[in-house]
Chains A and B, each alone.
Chain A
Amino acid sequence: MQEVTIGIAGAAGDGLDKSGDTLARSCGRLGLHVYAYNSYQSIIRGGHIWLRVRIGENKVYSHGDKLNVLVALNQDSIERHAGEVEEGGVVIFNSDKIKCDPALVRPGVKILALPMAKVTEDVVKEHGPLQAIMQNTVAVGAVCFLSNIGLEEPTSVLTDTFAHKGQKVIDLNVGLLKAGYEFAKANCQTLTKEWQFSHKKRPFVTGNEAIALGAYAAGCKFYSAYPMTPASTILHWMASHAAKTGICVKQCEDELSVINMAIGAGIAGARSMCATAGGGFALMTEAVGMAGIMEVPVVVVEVQRGGPSTGLPTKTEQADLFQVYGASQGEFPRLIVAPKSIADAYETTVDVFNLADKYQLPVLLMSDLLLSEHPETVDPEVFNSDVKIDRGEVVTEWKEDQGKFKRFKFTESGISPRALPGTANCNYVSATDDHDEESILISDMYTSPGTRRMIMEKRNRKIENLLKELPAPALEGPKDADLTLVCWGSTWGVVKEAVELLNAQGIKTNMLNIKYIAPFHAKEVSEILGKAKKKISVEVNYTSQMARHIKAETGISMDAHINRYDGEPMEPAFVAEHVKRILAGKALSLECTEEEAKDIGYHYLRTHALEKLRPSKLTKESGNGFGEQVWNIEFTERATGKTGARMLVGVSTGSTHSFEKLASE
């Protein structure tokens, strides 16, 4: 399959996400497939932002392992990423401001120095001086040539983007796009052959947008939230579309209020949803149990980010499984589900509103920063708004001669028909204290062990039928594989591509993705994993929580684990390399790598305001008095190229042992 990956790097506020958007939408309109991932920091201006846009003729399931074009918007970005560009690739930058040392790039990589003032001379003559951010459009133009997608669709995307600003702004931007395109055409060759454009237009959607759309399609009427990355964009979508959707969108004073409002709305009969990240969910946990004992339908979206505590606010992780699984005291039925992709996030959101209503329970929908925030092109058929809406057993009329309405009637199925407040003759109390069929408390004066057992069993019976309704997990890939990779959530896409990679390399591999966490298909998973020859869990966390969960549910242990917890998502080659290491019987090296040592060097420069320096040469040394091998990091002055400082970082501990300035600044 033909594919190309573009990286755009700069600082927060450089507007590089907009550039990526123009490129991705153009590809989406042409019928190409796009997967983008933006690695960013919790900062509004400055820092380092690294956006990768992977374009393929067929569906791409991750941001991949390759880099073909680097668009560097500042010097820092050149130094960090120029070396990642593969042979035959191109490094683009504004040569009026930035330099690229040829020693930084691999052989066969073209350094495309773009003299911005000269290239945009004609445009400036016509439209006046440019804002810095507009220069990005020139770079996008160059990328359009290199990635061989032409000018027609990018022009139409820009025309749509700036339609509200008038023709003059459109002309200016299109002029810049063309200038970049022509400059690249005059100096380079395209990186790809002719694409087979299907011209099937696909929307470029994030996971959070898919969840919000799913909620709208499912008839969600009430959405509450407190801002928290990476869940905030659901709130933004909900709020910006509320005038059209008619959804009551409420930003609350805290997450306690968020979930309690959503549950209140659920009791009153509105389909309701709320979303948060791990920290906000920690505040919500008490109320999850309230929804459990009151048997209230409510959908809670938990978007994981790097923890613990505030952790890594803008980085991805899958380490909240135990938090969500263990949320709230006591035992009560709830559905915990983790969609694997953006399309799945849409469909799952629609489904869980029905399941929440039918089984009258809280649904905890787990996402993660990668799934929620990365955009990709999705087949438009996925977003079908004509969905089934099943509100479960709701009593709308109850005559006095029917006797007392029993809100929590002990039934075979465990489901008790509910009446919504406002229905005559059905009055009851939704209570957090345990209660009898008629919702009379059994907690205070007359605790009844018999009633308690009956209502516990009634509530928990619901889960047996719910499990039967949920599709069981199944193997993907060759049935008779020698190796089974086990994953969950957004890691599905990466593992799917790793499986292809491994099979292509002769390692017969398949995969098992777990979507439903509670209730759990213990029988089916036992059967599958019981037959698997070798099992490796792949999770973006430190303690392999899904592997532990599977063991708790089935008694089956994994043979090995692949983990990543540095804040970045996995890539297919990362998974494949670790698989090969494990198969070769090699232990995992926890040594600080050269790349990591360099990154630690950059971190030191940033935090000590030494931006004039950059790490240039790293050598591993022994016998230095620090009790371990060290990385000797040499820093050179950006302006002069002279050696400016030296830093020693432990290979085993990663500790910064020393930093020594060698020349005057």
Chain B
Amino acid sequence: MATVIELPVEIFKGPVDPDWCPGCGDFGVLKGVQQAAAKCGIKPENLLVVSGIGCSSNLPGFIHAYGIHSLHGRAVPVATGAHLANTDLKVVITGGDGDGYGIGVGHLLHAMRRNLDVTYVVMDNQIYGLTTGQTSPTTTLGHKTKSTPQGNLESPLNPLALALTAGATYIARGFSGEQKHLADIIAGAIEHKGFSLVDVFSPCVTYNKINTYPFFKERVYKLEDEGWDPTDFHKSMEKAFEWGDKIPLGVIYKADMPTYEDGELAFKKGPLVKQSLKADKKMFDSFIEEMI
């Protein structure tokens, strides 16, 4: 493996400044992605940041890299296609809980079970922000939102447990209030070979008055401070359900498993985009011969 040459984080400064609300948790995540890319030494032309739709999905516009700002819920398949077409690109998917765990959750499950070598950073604010404050798949039970004025009736989805059962091989939780820690987790995710899910508490200061910075600051602790071993699946599953006064941050599970790319014959000759487009005449003619 080539030596990693760290890059200055400034080169990832995007062409425009983010238009998120002042104090939005997504600022910290953007910085975390930029710091992680710099730490991993990924040149801006080799970094592809793919998002769906939502406040946090505007992130690709705020970073100096290639980006795809796709449809609501479709970041994962778009990223999958781009990644399979050019496996030389480092693909980081960024988006929100509505995008990833709501409208796009079907794709997320399948991407995880494929163990694709991509990183998915979910800015989880437990609310729909861009549409002005409706309930999301991770909204707490009983939380009163614009669409649930009597309180949310649906149990929140547990992204970490979901990722464990679906087959992701790097599962972590960060907090945009713990910026450096978050950058390290994302860097670990990018370096990990296989599907990485990083669920990030990224508070919505405008529409979620429950899951705020103080809410998390009082509760979060770092797994590595306790000498956590992320390689035991069943213990990780138990840990994924820890919630309440103490909420764990850090890499909850990590496994070394074959990736989808390892088994795909089409990559034997390198990334698809670098292969010749000319059909092999002899082979083509043999296909015609099959039908005679």
8 pairs from A and B in contact (CB 8 Å cutoff): A222-B84, A246-B275, A260-B81, A267-B68, A269-B86, A270-B86, A430-B68, A441-B58
Residue contact B291 to A209, C-beta cutoff 8 Å: yes
The chain B residue sitting closest to A441, CB to CB, is B61
Contact for B272 among A265, A440, A444, CB less than 8 A? A265
Report Cα–Cα, A201/B285, bound state, in Å. 13
Contact call B71/A421, Cβ cutoff below 8 A: no
Determine whether the beta carbon of B273 is less than 8 Å from that of A270. yes
Q: How far is the CA of A242 from the CA of B74 in the complex (A)?
A: 26
A29-50 interface code vs B (CB 8 A; 1 in, 0 out): 1000000000000000000000
A-B CB proximity, top 5 nearest: A264-B81, A219-B277, A429-B67, A261-B81, A270-B85
At the interface with chain B, which of A4-12, A247-255, A332-340, A584-592? A247-255
Q: Residue-by-residue, is B106-146 near A (CB-CB < 8 Å gives 1, otherwise 0)?
A: 11011000000000000000000000000000000000000
Contact B81 A262 (CB under 8 A): yes
Binds B, one of A107-115, A379-387, A408-416, A595-603: A379-387
Interchain CB contact under 8 A, A265 and B84: yes
Q: Is the beta-carbon distance between B78 and A254 smaller than 8 angstroms?
A: no
State the interface size on chain A (CB cutoff 8 A): 76
- CB distance B291 to A268 under 8 Å? no
Q: Is B2 an interface residue (CB 8 A)?
A: no
Structural contact, A217 and B77, CB atoms closer than 8 A: no
Which of the residues A219, A264, A269, A287 comes within 8 Å of B80, measured between beta carbons? A264
Complex partner residue of A438 from B15, B74, B81, B288, CB under 8 angstroms: B15
Contact partner of A430 (CB less than 8 A), chosen from B64, B69, B281, is: B69
Looking at the assembled complex, report how far the CB atom of A33 sits from the nearest CB atom of chain B, in whole angstroms: 14
Complex Cα spacing A35 to B58, Å: 54
Contact A427 B269 (CB under 8 A): no
Q: A260–B78 contact, CB under 8 A?
A: yes
Q: Which of B38-46, B186-194, B201-209, B242-250 contacts A (4 or more CB under 8 A)?
A: B38-46
A103 within 8 A of B: no
A268 touching B86 by the CB < 8 A rule? yes
Q: For residue B137, give the distance in angstroms from its CB to the closest CB of chain A.
A: 18
Nearest chain B residue, comparing its CB with the CB of A431: B69
A606 within 8 A of B: no
Q: CB of A151 within 8 A of chain B? A: no
Q: Are B272 and A421 in contact (CB under 8 A)?
A: no
Chain B interface main SS type: helix
Say yes or no: B279 contacts A219, CB within 8 Å.
Answer: yes
B107 contacts across to A, CB distance below 8 A: 253, 256-257, 260
Q: At the interface, yes or no: A224 with Cβ under 8 Å from chain B? A: yes
> Across the interface, which residues of A come within 8 angstroms of B83, CB to CB?
264, 268
Interface residues of A (CB under 8 A from B): 25, 28-29, 201-205, 209, 213, 216-219, 221-222, 224, 241-250, 252-254, 256-258, 260-272, 286-287, 290, 294, 380, 383, 385-387, 389, 391, 420-433, 438, 440-441, 444-445
Max chain A Cβ within 10 angstroms of own Cβ: one of B77, B81, B269: B81
Q: In the complex the two chains form, is A421's CB within 8 Å of B45's CB?
A: yes
CB within 8 A of B273: which of A258, A262, A263, A420? A420
Let me know if A422 and B88 touch, CB within 8 A.
Answer: yes
User: Given A265-B272, A428-B66, is A25 in contact with B74 using a C-beta cutoff of 8 Å?
Assistant: no
B81 touches A265 (CB 8 A): yes
B233-289 interface with A by 8 A CB criterion: 264-269, 272-273, 275-279, 281, 283-285, 287-289
Q: Are B284 and A385 closer than 8 Å at their CB atoms?
A: yes
Cα A429 to Cα B16 with chains together (Å): 12
B82 lies within 8 A of chain A by Cβ:
yes
Does B95 make an interface contact (CB < 8 A)? Answer: no
**Which residues of A lie under 8 Å from residue B68 when comparing CB positions?**
264, 267, 294, 429-431
Question: Smallest CB–CB gap between A48 and chain B, Å?
Answer: 27
Count residues of B near A (Cβ-Cβ below 8 Å): 63
Q: Does B65 sit at the interface, judged by CB under 8 A? A: yes
Other than A221-B273, A224-B81, A444-B19, give 18 A-B pairs with Cβ distance below 8 A.
Answer: A202-B292, A219-B278, A221-B85, A222-B272, A248-B85, A254-B106, A256-B73, A256-B106, A261-B81, A271-B277, A294-B68, A380-B288, A385-B281, A387-B279, A422-B66, A429-B66, A430-B70, A441-B69
* CB of B53 closer than 8 Å to a CB of A: yes
Q: Which residue of A lies closest to B45 (CB)?
A: A424
- In-complex Cβ contact of A269 among B58, B69, B266, B273 (8 A): B273
Q: Is the CB of A430 within 8 A of B110?
A: no
Specify which chain A residues have a CB less than 8 angstroms from the CB of B110 in the assembled complex: 252-253, 257
A252-B110, A265-B84, A430-B67 given; A270·B278 CB < 8 A: no
Shortest CB–CB separation between residue A176 and chain B, in angstroms? Answer: 23
Q: How far is the CB of A219 from chain B (nearest CB, A)?
A: 3
Nearest Cβ distance between residue B264 and chain A, in whole angstroms?
A: 6
Of A253, A261, A391, most B-chain CB atoms within 10 Å:
A261
Please indicate the chain B residues that have their CB under 8 angstroms from the CB of A385 in the complex: 279, 281, 284-285
* Interface status of B48 (Cβ within 8 A of chain A): yes
Whole-angstrom distance between the Cβ of B242 and the nearest chain A Cβ: 30
Closest to B68 in A: A430
Counting chain A CB atoms within 10 Å of each CB, the highest count among B19, B70, B89, B109 belongs to: B70
The complex places the Cα of A201 from the Cα of B266 at a distance, in Å, of 32
Given contacts A250-B84, A265-B272, A428-B67, is CB(A205)–CB(B291) below 8 Å?
A: yes
Contact present for B81 and A268 (CB under 8 Å):
yes
A224-B81, A253-B110 known; A270 and B288 CB under 8 Å? no
Closest CB-CB distance, A208 to chain B, in whole Å?
12
Minimum CB–CB distance for A311 against chain B, Å = 24
In the assembled complex, B60 has its CB within 8 A of some CB on chain A: yes
- Smallest CB separation, B211 vs chain A (Å): 25
- The residue of chain A having its C-beta at the shortest distance from the C-beta of B291 within the complex is A203
Which B residues are CB-close (under 8 A) to A247?
266
Neighbouring B residues of A429 by C-beta, 8 Å: 60-61, 66-69
Compute how far the CA of A421 lies from the CA of B65 in the bound complex, rounded to whole angstroms: 9
B70 engages A248 (CB within 8 Å): no
Bound-state CA distance A439–B292 (Å) is 51
Nearest CB on B from A569, distance (A): 22
Q: Do residues A440 and B266 form an inter-chain contact, with CB atoms below 8 A?
A: no
Residues of the B chain whose Cβ atoms lie less than 8 Å from the Cβ of A445: 19
Name the A residues within 8 Å of B287 (CB-CB).
213, 216, 241
**CB-nearest residue of chain B to A237:** B287
Contacts of A272 in B (CB 8 A): 81, 85
| B79 interface hit (Cβ, 8 Å) | yes
Q: Are B86 and A203 in contact (CB under 8 A)?
A: no
Task: Tell me the minimal C-beta distance from B132 to chain A in angstroms.
Answer: 14
Which residues of the partner chain B approach A430 to less than 8 Å between Cβ atoms? 67-70
Q: Complex: how many Å from CA A271 to CA B284?
A: 18
> Is the Cβ of B81 less than 8 Å from the Cβ of A266?
yes
Chain A residues in 8 Å Cβ range of B50: 264
Q: Is the CB of A256 within 8 A of B86?
A: no
